[in-house]
Chain A
Amino acid sequence: MLEALSYPFMQRAVAAGLMVAFLASYYGVFVVQRGLSFLGSGLAHAAFGGVALGLLLRREPLVVAVPFTVFVSFGITWVRQRTTLASDTVIGIFFAVSMASGIIFLSMQQNYTTDAFSYLFGSILAITRTDLWVTGFVVLLALTIQPLWGRWAYATFDRELAMADRVPVILDEYILSMLIAVTVVVSVKVVGIVLISAFLVIPAAAARLLVHKFSTMTWLSILFGLSSTVIGLWGSYLLDVPSGATIVLVQAAIFLSCFLAAIGLQAGYRRRHHSETER
C-alpha cells in the first residue's frame, strides 16, 4: 500500500475515496433511518441525467450534474411533503424520468459511450486536483453545518414531535436532501453512478445492527465507511480490479460480520436471560 501511495494518482484516489466515504456514511445514517435507501439510487440516476446533459452541452459534466441533481432532490422532497405517496414511489418516478432524460441527451450526441461509461462505473484513478478541491469543499460544508445533526436526528426519530418543538423540519429536509444530492454527484467519479447507493446505505445499516444510540451509529458508520475505502482501494491495487466495486464488496463483508455479531449478541442475551429466569 505504501508503495502504491508514492504515485500521485493513488494519493488523489485515497484522498477522494476517504472524503466521499466520510460524506456518504455520515448522511447515510439519515438515509437508512428515514427509510430512504432508494434515494441514493434515485439521485445517482438523476446525476446520470445531469452528466449526460453536461456531455451534450460540452461542459464539465459534474458542473452540470450538481444543479441538475439538487433540482431533482428538491423535486422529490417537494412532492413527498405535498402528497401521501410513499417515498419510494416518488423517488421511482424521478429516477425513471432522470434516466430517460439522460438516455435522450446521450442519443442526441455522438461518441458518448466512453465518457458515459466512466461515470456509470466510476474512475477513481482519473480523479483530478479540481475534483479533490470540490470534494474537499463539500466535506468542509458538511463539517460547518454539523450542528444540524441534532435537529435532523430529532426529525428522523419523530417528525411531528420535532415540528411541535418548533424545529424547522421542512427547511431541514431541503437542506439535507441538497447535501445528499451534492454528495452523490461528487461521489460519481469515485464509485460510479451504479454503486453510489451502497456507500450511503451499507456502512450505516451495518452500524445500526450493533448499536442502540444514534450518535454511536453515526460514528460507527463513518468508521466503517473510511475503513472499507482504505481496505477496498488497497485490495483493488493488489488484485488489479475496479476500485469502486472492491470497496462495495468490503462494505458488504463488514455488513455480514456485523449481522453475524448481532445474531451472536442476541443469542447470548437470550441465553443469559433464560438462565437468570431458571435460577
Chain B
Amino acid sequence: MKTLVLVFHPDMAKSRANAALMAAARKLPSDAVTVRDEYALCPDGTIDVAAEQRLIEQHDRIVLQFPLYWYSSPALLKQWEDEVLAYGWAYGPGGEALKGKEIMVATTAGGPASEYQTEDNGATIGEVLSPYRMMARYTRAAWLEPFVVFRSMELTDAELATSAARYADALLAG
C-alpha cells in the first residue's frame, strides 16, 4: 500500500496544526508515504497536471489534507480537482485512474466538534465533506473515514502531538 498525501495550506509557515500533521506524515517511511506541499509546489497557481496524475497512478491511497476554509478546501485544492481530475482520465470513457484506489480527507477545523451539529450550523462534518465523498464515488474510488482535527487553533502541544500520532496511524492503517 503506497499512500500519497497532498497538503493544501496557502501559508504553511504560519500553520500549526497542518504543519504538525505534515511533519508526522513526512516521518513515515518514504517508500510507503509520499508527502507533497502543493502550495509550495505551485506558488503561482499553475498545476503540473501530468505530474500530479502520474503520482496518483503510482499510489494506492490518496489523502487530501487541508484546513477547512468556508466549509470547504482552500482554493488550490478546488483548482487541483478541476484540472487534474480530467475527463478521460478520472471519469468518462477510459477514465479509470482513481478506480479501486482509496481517498481520504484529512482536515482541520477551527471550531469545536459541537459546532458541526445539525442544530447549529445546520451541518455535520460529514455533510460538509459530502462534495469530496461524491467526487470519490464519481471516480469509483473507495471513501475512507475522514481524519478530522477540531479546535485546531486552540490545541495544546500535547493534544496536537496526539493528533499527529493518530494521523500517522490513519495513514498507514489497512
- Does A pair with B? no
